[in-house]
Structure 1
Amino acid sequence: MKKRTYRLLCVLAGTVLLATGALTGCSGSGKSGVSKGDGIQQTEEAGATEKHAPKIDGLEYKKTMKLKYATGFDVYYYKEGYKLLDVHEDRQYLIVPEGKKKPADLDKEIVVLKQPLEHIYLAATSAMALFDAMDGLDSIRMSGAQASDWYIDHAKKAMEDGKILFAGKYSEPDYEMLIDEDCDLAIESTMILHTPKVQEMIEDLDIPVFIDRSSYESHPLGRTEWIKAYAAMLNKEDAADTFFDTQTEVIGSLKDFKNTGKTVAYFFVNTDGTVVVRSSSDYIPKMIDIAGGKYIFQD
């Protein structure tokens, strides 16, 4: 048998790592009041197409956010500042601008996010890099990680200065702090799906829960583009567009990077001793490919 080189990859090339905007290192059918986008319509640009906007009683559609790589969400814009954030295979979130009210006949399954969002509990630690990139840390009041755990300097300093408080990890949040700090949104990773009781308790406190599914993207720039979902919440679309375009250029500069043929084994070990590898269609194997390597677990 040929000998193969197995390598544990902790950090890829800096430029590719930055492009994920997220890694923390080694550590349906229509409904009353709204209908899912299910077709194609022309945009303002000749020849361009986009999904039909969901119809919401009382709101008038304007445009759809343009996405290049992300496939896990869409953002639809309506007049008077309303936005609908549709996370595929999950929930829809109606972002209601400050001073406005939600539509009277809004479907009960749509989660309402009232702007301004200024007291966010960020338990999905990977999203911190995206908030930092669009200068949105002021909207985060509580974190699911301690100051010593952060690799993001601005987040670490904000916690040391008391601007961001530790409110417990995702599985054990400090519910009293969430109440005392007027938490207006809890952003969770998909890990919360393993502790559904926690999500239920947060929502029982009338705190909306948003689950970040960026890790399901198949391309690193798809994951990075989730910055636009958060930008819609904070009205920071311009900053997000600028950052994302820059990262796209970084990856674009690597298009002629030759594959070395070297194999890479990327895995992690859970606290219960389970060894976990990434699917070959995941964004991390794609990063390895962009960086010139070959993901060993192709099947």
Structure 2
Amino acid sequence: MKMKKKRFLSLILMLVMLVSTLVMSGCGTEKKSGNEGNYDGELVYDHSMELQYAKLFSVDYYKGGYKLITITNRDEDTAIVSKQSKLLLVPDGMSAPSGVDSDTVILKTPVTNMLVSSTPVTSLMNASNCLDNISQVTYDKKSWYIDAVKKAFDDGKLTYVGDYKAPDYETIIAGAPTLAIFSTMLTSVPDVAEKLKELGINYILDQSTYEDHPLGRVEWAKLYAALCNEEDAATDMFNAQAAYVDTLSKAEKTGKSVAVFYITSKGKLYVRNAGDYLAQMVNIAGGDYIFSDLNADKTGTQEMGIESFYEKAKDADYIIYVWNLGGKPSTLNDFTGYNSILADIKAVKDGNVWCTTPDFFQIADTIGSMINDINLMLNADADTSELTYLKKLK
């Protein structure tokens, strides 16, 4: 009887010691990997975000969950923005480190209640599970093609604060945004930038349009995801878009030439510069941009006379007409009605005039898929008239 009692007590003692060891081990692991304790108020570098194409921003990660975002501003205007913009993101429950540069904006993560004045940036954030972190925008509901954004308006989660050129400051103040994200178009209205500074509203300028590669634009989603602690979602989205380009890079060139342009309601014709991302998208898709010698070092567009345009584009195999920036033709007759000389272009005679869809410039998170569409266009048979982002004029 005594032997059984001793064995029982020994077993109990062993179980107690085992549980104690496990508890102590668990506590030690929690302290080592958690945000509290060891690195509170300190910046101890850990690693940097991996980027494939984007060159104008970086995200550095520090022990304890701190993040430092650095943006290189291409259009330096000291009245608007300095050469670099820095955001230090402090995780919930941690203290802001001392000795941080006075120009660095310190924000708690996840960053919520943001004002976003860019439809492509909003699309990137929406694709990275960050739409709920936006509360104010400078485009009203009718301007949007993104269903989730329109629903956010209906649900009262988004507030229109007026056009970026003349925003409603009272509405902005009432919403008290923690951070405002503008496109570089803010540089054209320095008075707005000055007013934001006066009101104490922190803002950054999205520089994605200056990236050398079209996928660099998409990769800016990772920066915005870092604000919301949604880096994995942004990486998954980016990888899916990059996969289209990776596949096309292994394919042979089609040898087909493409012109990309639009004509305004006043009859002015604008061609995409050779350095523009749309021209690059054509080349990546396996085509040859026909204006390859036009401002190879510039993005955006160049106005061109119709005769000069015709002389260069008359033998183009395909036309991609930027539908939402110019006149909006519904038929091939509408298109040639802008100027009779257009009817003599090879692409028009062959019935290879394609228009971009209305949402083309709003959904930056689909650029890889758009490039794939251009490739599909270049290889389409005569019966194909509609793709996801391109539609043939008949």
Alignment TM-score, normalising by the size of structure 1? 0.74
Confirm or deny that 1:78 pairs with 2:62.
Answer: yes
Q: Which amino acid aligns with 2:140?
A: Q
Secondary structure in 1 matching 2:248: coil
Identity of aligned residues (%): 40
Aligned to 1:113: 107
Structure with more helix by fraction:
2
8 Å contact kept, 2:255–2:286? yes
Q: Which amino acid aligns with 1:262?
A: S
CA drift of 1:116 comes to 3.1
- CA radius of gyration, larger in: 2
8 Å contact kept, 1:217–1:282? no
Secondary structure in 1 matching 2:181: strand
Secondary structure in 2 matching 1:107: coil
Q: What whole-Å deviation, never above 9, does each CA across 1:220-275 have from its counterpart, x for those lacking one?
A: 11110000000111110111111111111122222315334223133576x99986
Q: Which amino acid aligns with 2:54?
A: A
CA drift of 1:77 comes to 0.6
Q: Which amino acid aligns with 2:194?
A: E
Task: Report 1:170-185 matches (<5 A).
Answer: 170-185=164-179
The 10-residue stretch of structure 1 (104-113 or 138-147) with the greater mean CA deviation from structure 2:
104-113
Equivalents in 2 of 1:144, 1:268: separation in Å?
A: 26
Confirm or deny that 1:263 pairs with 2:247.
Answer: no
8 Å contact kept, 1:263–1:295? yes
8 Å contact kept, 1:216–1:282? no
Task: Report 1:122-201 matches (<5 A).
Answer: 122-201=116-195
Aligned to 1:283: 277
Aligned to 2:51: 67
8 Å contact kept, 1:228–1:237? yes
Q: Is the alpha carbon distance of 1:257 and 1:106 closer, same or farther for their aligned partners in structure 2, counting shifts above 3 Å?
A: same
User: Which structure has more RCO (C-alpha within 8 Å, separation ≥ 6)?
Assistant: 1
Q: Is the alpha carbon distance of 1:60 and 1:208 closer, same or farther for their aligned partners in structure 2, counting shifts above 3 Å?
A: same
Alignment TM-score, normalising by the size of structure 2? 0.57
Aligned to 1:235: 229
The runs of 5 or more residues in structure 2 that have no matched partner are: 1-40, 74-83, 295-394
Equivalents in 1 of 2:279, 2:193: separation in Å?
A: 31
Q: Which amino acid aligns with 1:220?
A: P
8 Å contact kept, 1:150–1:156? yes
Q: Is the alpha carbon distance of 1:221 and 1:165 closer, same or farther for their aligned partners in structure 2, counting shifts above 3 Å?
A: same
Q: Which amino acid aligns with 2:258?
A: T
The ranges of structure 1 where at least 4 consecutive aligned residues each deviate by more than 3 angstroms after the TM superposition are 266-269, 271-279
Task: Report 1:193-212 matches (<5 A).
Answer: 193-212=187-206
8 Å contact kept, 1:260–1:293? yes
The 10-residue stretch of structure 1 (121-130 or 283-292) with the greater mean CA deviation from structure 2:
283-292
Q: Is the alpha carbon distance of 1:149 and 1:261 closer, same or farther for their aligned partners in structure 2, counting shifts above 3 Å?
A: same
8 Å contact kept, 1:113–1:208? no
How many equivalent pairs are there? 242
The 10-residue stretch of structure 1 (128-137 or 246-255) with the greater mean CA deviation from structure 2:
246-255
Q: Is the alpha carbon distance of 1:226 and 1:109 closer, same or farther for their aligned partners in structure 2, counting shifts above 3 Å?
A: same
Secondary structure in 1 matching 2:136: strand
Q: Which amino acid aligns with 2:233?
A: A
8 Å contact kept, 2:89–2:106? yes
8 Å contact kept, 1:266–1:295? no
Equivalents in 2 of 1:113, 1:280: separation in Å?
A: 39
CA drift of 1:281 comes to 2.6
The runs of 5 or more residues in structure 1 that have no matched partner are: 1-56
Aligned to 1:6: none
Pick from 292, 295, 298 the counterpart of residue 289 of structure 2.
Answer: 295
Equivalents in 2 of 1:92, 1:257: separation in Å?
A: 42
